[in-house]
Homo-oligomer: A and B are copies of this chain.
Amino acid sequence: MKRTVLIIGAGGVAQVVAHKCAQNNDILGDLHIASRTVAKCEAIIDSVRAKGAMKIAGDFGVHTLDAMDVAAVAALIGQTGAQIVINVGSPFVNMTVLEACIQTGAACIDTAIHEDPTKVCETPPWYGNYEWKRREACKAAGVTAILGAGFDPGVVNAFARYAVDACMDTVESIDIVDINAGSHGRYFSTNFDPEINFREFTGTVYAWQGGEWTENRMFEVMREDDLPVVGRHKSYLSGHDEVHSLAARYPHADVRFWMGFSDHYINVFTVLQNLGLLSEQPVVTAEGLEVVPLKLVKAVLPDPSSLAPDYTGKTCIGDFVRGVKDGKPVEVFVYNTSDHAQAFAEVGSQGISYTAGVPPVAAAMLIASGVWDVGHMANVEDLDPKPFLALLNRIGLPTRIKDADGDRALVL
C-alpha cells in the first residue's frame, strides 16, 4: 500500500530523503516537505525535478512549519493526509513531532536523539530522558515510531543486531567506528550544523563498559584501525545516541562509539573549546552586547551544504562485534563505505548527508510494505535487520562483512 510521506526539515539530509523518496515513489506516495523556510523546501523540490528523480508521476507539496508547535504539525499531517512522517529537522523538534504523530496516528521516523537546546549531554541512557517516556503512549495509539533510523544511529544498530544474531552465540563487545576520510578543501568546516556538531563533543563521553556507564572527556581515549577502502585511521571514544539503546538490549556487552577526527579538526576544536568559544551560555562584550559564542562560531563557519560540490573521498562506518560462537572467540566487522562525489552526482549532497538520509527512506518503505509497521516505538535494533539491510543494498548503501572468512558483500 502506498503511503503519503511528510518530510520535516530542509537541510542537507532532507535533500537526500526527498530524492530517495522520489526515486521510490512507486512504494511511497505523494511527497510533502515542510520547514520554517519554505524557500529551502522549494529548492529541494527543484533539485528533485531537475534530476528527474521520480520513479513514477507524483505530486510534491511544500509547507511552512514551526515544528516546535505540536498543533501545527498535527494540522499539517491532517491537511496532507501524511501516513509517514520522516523527521530530519533539528533534534530540538523530535518530541513535538512525535507528539503530533501520536495524536494523528501517523508513523514517525527520526534520525537523531531529542535535545533540549539549553542542555548539553544529559544523564544516560539518553533515550530515557525523552523518547522512551512516550513508549506506552505510542503502543496505546498503535503508532509506529522508529527512533534514530539514520546511519549512526540507525544502520549501525542493525549491523550490531545482525552480527549478534547471525555470527555468535553470545556478544562481548560492540565497537562502532565512524571514519570520514573525505576532504572538503576548506580550512575548517563541520559536516552538519556546527551548533549540533560541537554540542556532541563538549560534554561527557558516555560508554557502556563492564555493565555500567563510564565517563571520559572527548579525545581522551583513542584507537587506530586499518579499515577497508579508507585505510589506517585514528578514532576517539565519543558520546553517541546508539550506545544508549544498544546498551539496554545487550547489557552484558561493552558498547562504545568511536568517531574519526583529523589532528587538524582536534586542534581547531581544542582551541575554540579552551577559549570558551563553543559555549552555549551567553557572554557580554565590552560594548554590552549579549552573544552566545557557539552561535557566532556557527556564523563564521562554512554552511555545511555548501561543501557538497567539492567534496571528494570516502566514508567508512561499521561495527566491530566480538563474541563467542561454539565456544570459540569470533570477531566480525560489518560496514559500509560511501563516496562523497558519487553522492553529490546522484542527489546533490555530500556523503555524510547521503549516509544519514537514505536509511530513514528505507525505514519508510518497510513501513509502507508492512514489514516494519509494528504499531509501537522501536529502536532500529529492536526490528529484524535483514529486510532493512537487504533494501539498503539495493538503494545505495550496500553492506559488507569482514571476518575470518574474508571481506565480502553481505548477501541477504
The CA of A286 and the CA of B275, in the complex, are separated in Å by: 22
Residues A297 and B275 in contact in the complex (CB < 8 Å), given A267-B267, A291-B289, A291-B291:
yes
Which residues of B have CB within 8 Å of A285?
A: 291, 295-296, 298-299
A284 contacts B by Cβ under 8 Å: yes
Which residues of B have CB within 8 Å of A277?
A: 277, 296-297, 300
Which residues of B have CB within 8 Å of A187?
A: 274-275
Which residues of B have CB within 8 Å of A130?
A: none
Shortest CB–CB separation between residue A198 and chain B, in angstroms?
13
A287 contacts B by Cβ under 8 Å: yes
The CA of A204 and the CA of B286, in the complex, are separated in Å by: 27
A70 contacts B by Cβ under 8 Å: no
Which residues of B have CB within 8 Å of A289?
A: 289, 291, 295
Shortest CB–CB separation between residue A21 and chain B, in angstroms?
27
The CA of A194 and the CA of B154, in the complex, are separated in Å by: 46
Which residues of B have CB within 8 Å of A279?
A: 300
Report, as a range, how many residues of chain A touch the other chain: 20 to 34
A79-97 vs B: 1/0 string, CB under 8 Å? 0000000000000000000
Whose C-beta in chain B lies nearest to the C-beta of A289? B291
Which residues of B have CB within 8 Å of A296?
A: 277, 283, 285, 291, 293, 296
Copies in the complex: 2
Which residues of B have CB within 8 Å of A298?
A: 285-286
* Residue of A276, A277, A301 with highest tally of chain B CB at under 10 A: A277
A150-170 vs B: 1/0 string, CB under 8 Å? 000000000000000000000
Residues A286 and B267 in contact in the complex (CB < 8 Å), given A187-B274, A274-B187, A274-B188:
no
Whose C-beta in chain B lies nearest to the C-beta of A273? B187
A383 contacts B by Cβ under 8 Å: no
Do residues A295 and B286 form an inter-chain contact, with CB atoms below 8 A? yes
The CA of A274 and the CA of B300, in the complex, are separated in Å by: 10
Whose C-beta in chain B lies nearest to the C-beta of A276? B300
A271 contacts B by Cβ under 8 Å: yes
A268 contacts B by Cβ under 8 Å: yes
Do residues A299 and B283 form an inter-chain contact, with CB atoms below 8 A? yes
Do residues A283 and B295 form an inter-chain contact, with CB atoms below 8 A? no
Which residues of B have CB within 8 Å of A141?
A: none
Residues A271 and B268 in contact in the complex (CB < 8 Å), given A283-B299, A300-B293:
yes
A279-324 CB contacts (< 8 Å) to partner B: 279, 283-287, 289, 291, 293, 295-301
Which residues of B have CB within 8 Å of A276?
A: 300
Do residues A267 and B275 form an inter-chain contact, with CB atoms below 8 A? no
Which residues of B have CB within 8 Å of A71?
A: none
A167-207 vs B: 1/0 string, CB under 8 Å? 00000000000000000000110000000000000000000
Residues A301 and B275 in contact in the complex (CB < 8 Å), given A267-B267, A296-B293, A296-B296:
yes
Which residues of B have CB within 8 Å of A301?
A: 275
A272 contacts B by Cβ under 8 Å: yes
The CA of A271 and the CA of B187, in the complex, are separated in Å by: 9
Shortest CB–CB separation between residue A320 and chain B, in angstroms?
33
Shortest CB–CB separation between residue A289 and chain B, in angstroms?
7
Do residues A271 and B274 form an inter-chain contact, with CB atoms below 8 A? no
The CA of A275 and the CA of B295, in the complex, are separated in Å by: 14
The CA of A296 and the CA of B188, in the complex, are separated in Å by: 20
The CA of A296 and the CA of B187, in the complex, are separated in Å by: 21
Residues of A at the B interface (CB closer than 8 Å) are 187-188, 267-268, 271-272, 274-277, 279, 283-287, 289, 291, 293, 295-301
